[in-house]
């Protein structure tokens, strides 16, 4: 579990990240979370898992491999999702002005840390 906490902390340390969580991809349930106050973890998990699954199916139907990053961009922020091992997604919610380049990097490294 120490590994899990470290992985989430690694992501949430990035400026502008409101929270990170580990989600079961198949059912969209929260496995672990480190979220700012006001963020509904269950909603983030379910929505991120559902959207990621839809994009994965779309990518596969287009003849592409499984996406390594899925990103929902909205007016006031961004949701990032990366695969983190068997049936798991590492998800982060970022503010509009967050450093998304750094956030993506940390997410992928944290996901690799979890998968190892």
Partner 1 sequence: MTDPIRELTAQLASDPQSLVFLELGEALRNRGQPAAAYKVARMGVNRYPELAASHDLLARVLADQGDRHAAAEAWRRVLELSPGHIGANKGLAFLAFRAGDPEGALPFLESALGAAPDDEGLAVAVQRVRAALDGAAARATAAAEASAPSALRGAEGFEPFEDARGVVLLDTQGLRLAGTVEAPDGSDVSDAVAAHLQGVSREASRAARLLDLGAWESVTAESPDGHLLVLPPTQSTVLLLLRDARVPVGRLGLIGEQAARAARHWLERLA
Q: Could you tell me how many residues of this chain bind partner 1 (CB under 8 A)?
A: 35
Which is nearer to partner 1, 3 or 73 (by Cβ)? 73
CA 75 to chain CA centroid, nearest Å: 18
Strand order in the sheet with 17-24: 30-35, 17-24, 88-95, 77-83
Residues 29-58 that bind partner 1 (CB under 8 A): 38-40, 43-44, 47-48, 50-51, 54-58
Strand 88-95 relative to strand 30-35, pairing: unpaired
Comparing CA positions, the residue from 83, 71, 88 lying closest to residue 31 is 88
- Of these, 59, 85, 99, 102, which contacts partner 1 (CB under 8 A)? 59
Confirm or reject binding of residue 64 to partner 1 (CB under 8 A): yes
Where does this chain bind partner 1 (CB under 8 A)? 38-40, 43-44, 47-48, 50-51, 54-59, 61-79, 93
């Amino acid at each position: 579990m120490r590994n899990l906490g470290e992985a989430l902390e690694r992501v949430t340390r990035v400026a502008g990240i409101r929270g990170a969580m580990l989600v079961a991809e198949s059912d969209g349930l929260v496995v672990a979370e480190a979220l700012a106050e006001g963020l509904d973890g269950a909603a983030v998990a379910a929505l991120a898992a559902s959207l990621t699954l839809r994009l994965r199916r779309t990518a596969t139907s287009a003849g592409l491999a499984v996406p390594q990053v899925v990103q929902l961009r909205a007016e006031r922020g961004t949701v990032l999702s990366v695969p983190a091992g068997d049936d798991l997604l590492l998800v982060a919610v970022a503010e509009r002005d967050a450093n998304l380049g750094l956030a993506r990097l940390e997410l992928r490294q944290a996901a690799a840390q979890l998968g190892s």
